[in-house]
Amino acid sequence: MKTLKKKSLFFALLLFLNGIGSFKTIAQNATTNQPNYLLREYMKVVPGKENEYLKVEKVWKKIHERRIKEGRILAWTLSRRVYYGTNSPYDYVTTTVFKSGKEMDEAASLNWDYIIAGLSPEDLAIVNTTGDTRKMVSSQLLYQTQRVQAEGSIFKYWQITQVKAKQGFGADLEKYEAMMKPVFEEAAKSGQISGWRFGENLFPRRANEGNYYRVIITKNMEDLLNSEKNPFVSAAFKKVYPTKDWKVFSKAMNDIITILDVDLWERIDSAAN
């Protein structure tokens, strides 16, 4: 039965959440300025079924909107990977935001009846095709500690940079990035970017992979390409820290990290308070 198959897929997710929910006991409130936890799930769409997959995510968005309204999650986003080859392990990413491990544990108590409650017969038929349209190839848990978001901005492109701090320099990198927050706030205020994120990659944790991530968010490709040239960062830094030298600061920060990977995602849909 398709319904039973979809139940199995969802319960696999619940088991995953149950396993990670209590790993770190830092409770945060739901305000956007507070640290929170991001569950990223990487999807490989079945060839020729992209339109069907997007219809599936439209229905799941309704479910996530209900979870947001009930305080079970803070936000949900669907993103498409941009500029990748046919051998890429994933095409789309869903990101679910939790305010603490408590909500992750509570997610494990959700059952199929809760998931399908209120869905029309048409929506139920679509959600039952979830496993037929895509494969969840991997998942990742992140701890987001810094966030800048320009009010009323359009969030279209997400430049994701994977960073590895040198052994013993993680705290120093976190300090540098905390100093950069007002710089990106200034850049967002001037309209050069829409947002910025920084945080820690928690699980899975491997020696050859990045232990931190950065995100630059822009409203269009032109702003993204301009951000690559990086003049806005130095100008904003000088405005925020008039007595500090940007070249000295950036060299000190870059000397303790290795940039492993830079990826580009396009936001397709989202739900939040």
Strands 75-82 and 36-45: unpaired
Q: What pTM was estimated for this model as a whole?
A: 0.85
Question: In this predicted structure, what is the pLDDT of residue 152?
Answer: 82
pLDDT in tens, 152-197: 888 999 999 999 999 999 999 999 999 999 999 999 999 999 999 9
Integer Rg of the chain from CA: 20
pLDDT in tens, 100-124: 999 999 887 888 899 899 999 999 9
Q: Which residues pair with 135 in a beta bridge?
A: 44
Q: CA torsion angle for 60, 16, 7, 102 (degrees, to 10)?
A: -70
pLDDT in tens, 56-85: 999 999 999 999 999 999 999 999 999 988
Question: In this predicted structure, what is the pLDDT of residue 21?
Answer: 34
Print burial letters for 58-82: b (CB count within 10 Å at least 16), e (below 16).
Answer: ebbbebbebbbeeebbbbbbbbbbe
Question: In this predicted structure, what is the pLDDT of residue 33?
Answer: 64
